Amino acid sequence: MYTRKNQRDLTGAEKKSFVNAVLELKRRGHYDEFVRTHVEFYTPDGESGLRSGHMAPTFFPWHRRFLLEFEGALRSVDPGVSLPYWDWTKDNTPAAALWGDDFLGGTGRSRDQQVMTGPFAYRSGNWTVRDNVTDDPFLTRDLGRPGRDPIVLPTVRELESAMKRPVYDVAPWDSTPTKGFRNGLEGWVKPGVDQPWRNHNRVHRWVGGDMLGAASPNDPVFWLHHAFVDLLWDRWQARHPKAGYLPAKKLPAGDPQSGRVISLHEPMPPWNVTPSAMLGHAKTYRYA
């Protein structure tokens, strides 16, 4: 059993080990497989087809499993490495140590959003983006979108509006519910409101660049963001101990979401793993 630490508590050596393990996975071609998997398993709720990673109750267990797979790959390079998490309610400016040259590097330059600093800058020679929305080979960011209409990261209050919700998720189990923890944290709100994203979705928007699009894992901050999302699921479970993953049972054939939403004991693609198997992780890792 190993520990996932808050990124602000990592030592210089730990940051270096983490970065080196990520770069090695990239060098081997393995990193980009994870990007492709994430793209493949994003089915929006206005399309038919099974939803696994997003706009669905499996948002949490799917990403938990996805992160475990990535972390396993990192640990096959260096067994001492684990995923750090990024608490964006606290480390919420581009000046945070997270964005230092010794860690993830900083925001993109204004001309083309290209990240010019840190180990994941294209010009370092070790991070070429291949499976991407654009044909730019360089990583892009636009932290806080400072030009027009700036954004702030989710506040403790915004997060609390999700964490206090007593029910895990509600029908129709997609991006439309205004109740339920899952969509409160995933962060879909009605379009037309000012800054129509909350919590998880807002963070993707705040980072901008590649993190905004279909191929968001091209930015390694993806893993630190989702590690915190994973921790938040732990915290929510601890706070609402009588609440469980929903839907608990397979949706009946007449339900409009039948075949599109995965219930507690049904397997999540691409693995043969059910949400029920992903509810906890005490035997594998803990959060510090």
Partner 1 sequence: MTGATTGVTAGGGRTRRALLRTLFGLGALGGTAAALAPLVRADRAARTRTVDPPAPGARPYREAVEETYRGRHISIRPSAGVATTGPAAYRPGVHPGVPADDVLVDGRPLKLMRRADGGWMSVVNHFESFPTPLAAARAAVDDLHGARLSLDGPMLHHA
Binding residues for partner 1, rule: CB under 8 A, are 30, 33, 35-37, 39-40, 42-50, 54-55, 65, 68-69, 72-73, 112-113, 131-136, 140, 142, 172, 174-176, 187, 190-192, 196-197, 201-202, 204-205, 208, 212-216, 256, 258-260, 267, 269-273, 277-278, 284
Least Å distance between CB 136 and partner 1?
5
Q: In terms of Cα–Cα distance, which of 256, 255, 249 is closest to 274?
A: 249
Distance, CA of 206 to CA of 94 (rounded, Å): 10
Three-class SS of residue 4?
strand
Using the minimum distance from each CB to partner 1, give the nearer residue, 196 or 244: 196
Distance, CA of 18 to CA of 96 (rounded, Å): 18
- Enumerate residues 6+ apart whose C-beta is below 8 A from 31: 22, 25
Beta strands 285-287; 2-4: pairing state: parallel
Least Å distance between CB 37 and partner 1?
7
Using the minimum distance from each CB to partner 1, give the nearer residue, 239 or 265: 265
Least Å distance between CB 144 and partner 1?
14
Residue 94 carries which DSSP code?
T
Least Å distance between CB 284 and partner 1?
7
Using the minimum distance from each CB to partner 1, give the nearer residue, 19 or 35: 35
Using the minimum distance from each CB to partner 1, give the nearer residue, 20 or 134: 134
Least Å distance between CB 99 and partner 1?
19
Q: Give me Rg for the CA atoms of the chain.
A: 18
Distance, CA of 74 to CA of 169 (rounded, Å): 32
